[in-house]
Chain A
Amino acid sequence: MKKLLEVENLNTWFHTSKGDLKAVRGVSFDLEYGESLGLVGESGCGKTTCALSIARLLPKEGRITGGKILLEGVDLAAMTEEEIRKKRWKDVSIVFQGAMNALNPVMKVGDQISEAIILHDKTSKEEAKRRTAEILELVEISAKRAENYPHEFSGGMKQRAMIAMALACNPKIVIGDEPTTALDVMVQAQILNLLNKIRKEYRMGFILITHDLSVLGEICDKIAVMYAGKIVEMGTVEDIFERTAHPYTKKLISCFPNIHGEKVIPEGIPGSPPNMLAIRPGCSFAPRCTEKQPCCEQSEPESRQIGAGHYAACHFVRGGEGR
């Protein structure tokens, strides 16, 4: 059986007036049916660009310059704009970050969900309405509310409506681009649990983009840590949290306070992410790394397998156990 999604050596560049910005540099990962992958990293590390590349929704300055995005063996990266428009939302759908703004204020919520169904499935209006009601119930919104306008919804409801919209055409992969950032913690947990439940029920691939490592631990099967456009470490939740290999991942985890341990103020990671317009040779994390050696500045570490399904890109990790 084919894999649901295989991303091979994906490169995405932005053309800017100051030169090409290499936002994603050789990212590879894969995803099985019903599996969920978490993408973490600091702001600007290429998480969202990576996701937008998969959904082929890059802004016009952005371009996939290399690599393959194989969805059930079909390369999405090679499709023309018109081909992708027809497949969009049926293959890959996105739950956007700010649901508040992602709904048209002058259209009924139900109509906006039916819109997606009608655009792709060529069904009648009544059929689309019926499906919309079903999906709304699935995300725990009463079907009656389909007749409401977005401003009559609370923030959490809008976000759930966005999830409903993402599920409208039974996509194979759902991407959550920080779907809960704008919500309070209680609602956050609700929404993530809901997404997780639906993903398992319908065996959809799920890619969750977030800054919040603790969320990933709860929801995801696999985690990929990104830094400066590359995946520096990837593995199962246990690999990442228990057998942390890459210095950046260690730093990232240390930034989250542990509720069981003693009171400590997270130290943070000194320095700032590199300028993506002028990437220096060597490991891009080297200037901020506390375990830096002379060779780190010269050659860029390859991603190496250090355990079953556990990869890290650092000169100083060895197979099996992390350093």
Chain B
Amino acid sequence: MNYREFRYRRLKEFLHAVRNNKMALVGSLTLLFFLLVAIFGPIFVPFSTLEFGEVEDMLLPPGGEHLLGTDDMGRDVLANLISGARISLLVGVLATAISMVIGCAIGIVSGYFGGRIDQLLMRFTDFFLVIPWLPLMMVLAAVLGTNIWNIILVIGITSWPGSARVVRSQTLSVKERQFVERTVSIGASSGHIMLRHILPNVFPLVFANTVLVAAIAITSETTLSFLGLGDPSQASWGMMLHYAFESGAASAGAYWYYLPPGFCVVAVVLAFTLMGYAFDEILNPKLKNR
């Protein structure tokens, strides 16, 4: 059996496990749906999401030309929803990537070196862990300015402590294995060992954790936008909720304005969470029920 066959078999095993796991199946299908919408949806939408509509188009109920009705500026809700999927997933993926890079780096360095470096890095992590993240995000978003890249950055640098802790504890166990000692003995540097030997061994756990962080990132983006710290030039779901709230859509009975974005946020976050738990179950040998 060569390398490629081995990889292929592992992938097949993984997909098989996903198919047999209801949580994973529901989660990944939901996510796949939103992914397709985000990628291809905007091609089919005939309405602009940013330009204001005519006065007579304001707050039209669902039906007719506008399938999900219009908002208080006369914009099509469905069009907004579809372009919002792009923003939410973009924020989710990029913020998670930033968070994972920081979390992995701090976790592996801390776990591998131990001693004073570990103490220092873990106290730093604790500091970020206990800081009320929402006010911190709000302050950072306000200081850095409200554009989508800053929001991604802010979410990224506030959501890593959990990952750092998970990675550190796994590193502590991996570094005691004999192959690490052997790699030291062939004269490898610490950096080489951490990148080439420890990272690949902690990666399955990191992967499961990543998916959970993505859910948090999307919630955070929605929260920030809802509180008015989002990017006004991007039609994210959080911004829609924000405008709906400001225009009093709830008291005006315009349910089609605030329910769809709310539902979408819940669905995507739930999908990520389900996948996160399911992957953890599949990839974490301790939780395997065989």
Identify the A interface with B (CB < 8 A): 55, 57, 85-90, 93-94, 96, 98, 101-108, 115-116, 119-120, 147-149, 152, 165, 168
A103 is contacted by which of B179, B185, B189, B200 (Cβ under 8 Å)? B179
Pick the most buried of A55, A116, A165: most chain B CB atoms within 10 A of its CB. Answer: A116
Which residues of chain B have a CB within 8 Å of any CB of chain A? 1-3, 6, 177-179, 181-189, 192, 196-197, 200-201
- B2:A107 contact, CB within 8 angstroms: no
Q: What is the count of residue pairs linking A and B with beta-carbon distances less than 8 angstroms?
A: 68
Q: Assess the B186–A115 pair: CB atoms within 8 A.
A: yes
Q: B3 to A105, Cβ gap below 8 A?
A: no
Q: Is A107 in contact with B187, judged by CB distance below 8 angstroms?
A: no
Across the interface, B186 reaches (CB within 8 A) one of A88, A148, A152, namely A88
**Alpha-carbon gap, A108 to B7, bound state (A):** 12
Q: Is there an interface contact between A94 and B185, defined as CB atoms closer than 8 Å?
A: yes
Residue numbers in B under 8 Å from A104 (CB-CB): 179, 183, 197, 200-201
Asked if residues B201 and A55 are in contact (CB atoms below 8 Å), the reply is no
B187 engages A152 (CB within 8 Å) = no
Chain B positions within 8 Å of A149 at CB level:
3, 6
Chain A residues in 8 Å Cβ range of B189: 85
26 A-B pairs in the complex with CB atoms less than 8 angstroms apart: A57-B181, A57-B185, A85-B189, A88-B185, A88-B186, A90-B187, A93-B186, A94-B185, A96-B182, A98-B178, A101-B178, A102-B178, A102-B181, A102-B182, A104-B200, A108-B3, A115-B183, A116-B186, A116-B187, A119-B187, A119-B192, A120-B186, A147-B2, A148-B3, A152-B6, A165-B182
Q: Bound complex: CA of A103 vs CA of B188, how far in Å?
A: 14
Q: Are B187 and A89 in contact (CB under 8 A)?
A: yes
Chain B residues within 8 Å of A89, by CB: 185-187
B184: A residues at CB distance < 8 A? 57
A107-B200 in contact given A102-B178, A119-B192, A152-B1 (Cβ < 8 Å) = yes
Task: Report the minimum CB–CB distance from A172 to chain B (whole Å).
Answer: 15
Chain A nearest CB, measured from B97 CB (Å): 22
Instruction: Tell me the minimal C-beta distance from B284 to chain A in angstroms.
Output: 16
Q: Measured between C-beta atoms, what is the minimum distance from B268 to chain A in Å?
A: 32
Residues from chain B with Cβ under 8 Å of A105 in the complex: 179, 201
The CA of A190 and the CA of B183, in the complex, are separated in Å by 26
Taking CB as reference atom, which chain A residue is nearest B6?
A: A149
Instruction: Name the A residues within 8 Å of B3 (CB-CB).
Output: 108, 147-149
Complex Cα distance, B179 from A313, in Å, reads: 38
Does A101 contact B201, Cβ atoms closer than 8 Å?
A: no
- Nearest residue (CB) in A for B187 is A88
Residues of B within 8 A of A90 (CB): 187
Interface centre among B177, B185, B188 (most CB of A within 10 A): B185
Tell me, in angstroms, the Cα distance from A194 to B28 when the chains sit together.
53
**Cα(A86)–Cα(B187), bound, Å:** 6
Known A-B contacts: A89-B186, A115-B188. Give 19 more (CB < 8 A).
A55-B185, A87-B187, A88-B187, A89-B185, A89-B187, A90-B187, A93-B185, A96-B182, A104-B179, A115-B186, A116-B187, A119-B186, A120-B186, A120-B187, A148-B1, A148-B2, A148-B3, A165-B182, A168-B186
**Residues of chain B lying within 8 A (CB to CB) of residue A55:** 185
Bound-state Cα–Cα, A41 to B181, Å: 24
Considering the complex of A and B, which 5 residue pairs feature the smallest CB-CB distances, nearest first?
Answer: A88-B187, A101-B178, A116-B186, A104-B179, A102-B182
- Assuming the A-B contacts A98-B178, A101-B178, are A165 and B186 also in contact, with contact meaning beta carbons closer than 8 angstroms in the complex? yes
A86 partner residues in chain B, CB cutoff 8 A: 187
A86 to B188, CA, bound (A): 9
Contacts of B2 in A (CB 8 A): 147-148
* B197 partner residues in chain A, CB cutoff 8 A: 104, 107
Taking CB atoms, residues of chain B closer than 8 Å to A101 are: 177-179
Q: CA separation between A309 and B6, bound complex, in Å?
A: 55
Give the CA-CA distance A105 to B178 in the complex, in Å: 11
Which residues from B are CB-within-8-Å of A115?
A: 183, 186, 188, 196
Bound-complex Cα distance A107 to B198 (A)? 11
Pair A119/B200 contact, Cβ less than 8 Å: no
What is the CA–CA distance of A85 and B191 in the complex, to the nearest angstrom? 13
State how many angstroms separate the Cβ of B53 from the closest Cβ of chain A: 56
**A102 close to B187 (CB less than 8 A):** no
By beta carbon, the residue of chain A nearest B1 is A152
CA distance A105 to B184 in the complex (A): 16
Which residue of A has the minimal Cβ distance to B189? A85
Q: Which residues of B contact A147 (CB under 8 A)?
A: 2-3
